[in-house]
Amino acid sequence: MTGTSSPSGGGVHEPPSEWPTTTEGYQLECPIGYGAFATVYKATVVSGVHSGEPAAIKVIDLECLDGTTFDDIRKELQVMRMCTHPNVITYHAAFSSPDAKMWLVMPLINGGSCQNVIREYKKRTGHSINNIGIIAYILRETAIALRHFHSNQQIHRDLKAGNILLSLDGRVYLSDFGVSASMRDSRSRQTFVGTPCWMAPEVLEQSKNG
């Protein structure tokens, strides 16, 4: 597979994949998400053994990245390789394109994030979701994913509704590992990261006290 080159000249070297590793192997259909340096597209595989299957492809502009941001992407790939589990999002392939873009090919989780589901439900009905059974199920599946994550000595550090994905057949996936840290890395664990409104009170209190 084609490696991806970092701004400082390093690379992400991927093991062989049965998924296409060039842009010609995919048909981008429509954008389904945006970030500072990337756009996520709904796509269809058009070559190889997975031809016809849907995918979500994150297209990252490598020329806009600094070394730290690229390291976060590389770390996210490493974590997804390490923490393979039915409740943890994975990726199929990662490669660089001739126009200095990185393509990260992932499963298409067609239900969207919990955050989007909550927002759309309230917009449609005027009420919050209050089905205790559904809430308990999502929390249980997320806890199972976190237990596996922790068993691999990893800490997510940005757990929130936007990072919990739902499929239309009821499966729950933990995603977005760019700011995760190893339990063995004491320096990373002391940094303050995450989304403030989703942080535990003791974490926020610690940040105020330095």
CA–CA distance, 24 with 200 (Å, rounded to integer): 45
Evaluate if residue 5 carries a pLDDT over 70: no
Q: Is 58 assigned to a binding site?
A: yes
- Percentage of the chain surpassing pLDDT 90? 52
Judge whether 158 counts as a catalytic residue.
yes
Q: Per residue in 107-162, pLDDT tens?
A: 999 999 999 999 999 999 999 999 999 999 999 999 999 999 899 888 887 889 98
* Beta bridge partner(s), residue 182: 154
| Average pLDDT of the chain to the nearest whole number | 82
The position carrying tokens 């974490």 is: 203
Secondary structure of residue 44 in the 3-state scheme: strand
Distance CA 43, CA 29 (A): 5
- pLDDT (0 to 100) of residue 1: 39
Q: How many CB atoms lie within 10 A of CB 94?
A: 27
- Core vs surface per residue 43-80: b (16+ CB within 10 A) or e: bbbeeeebeeeebbbbbbebeebeeebbbebbbbbebb
Per-residue pLDDT reduced to its tens digit, 153-191? 888 878 899 889 999 999 999 988 777 777 776 555 555
d(C-alpha 164, C-alpha 142), whole Å: 8
What's the alpha-carbon Rg for the chain, to the nearest Å? Answer: 18
- Whole-model pTM above 0.85? no
CA dihedral sign of residues 37, 79, 66, 194:
positive
Q: How far apart are CA 168 and CA 162, in angstroms?
A: 16
- What whole-number distance in Å separates Cα of residue 95 and Cα of residue 55? 15
Going along the chain from its start, the domains and CATH numbers come out as 4-106 (3.30.200.20), 114-203 (1.10.510.10)
Q: Which of 61, 72, 158, 176 is catalytic?
A: 158
Q: Encode pLDDT of 35-75 as tens digits.
A: 778 899 999 999 999 999 999 999 999 888 776 677 778 88
For β-strands 38-45 and 54-61, DSSP reports them as: antiparallel
Residue 124: count other Cβ atoms within 10 Å of its Cβ. 8
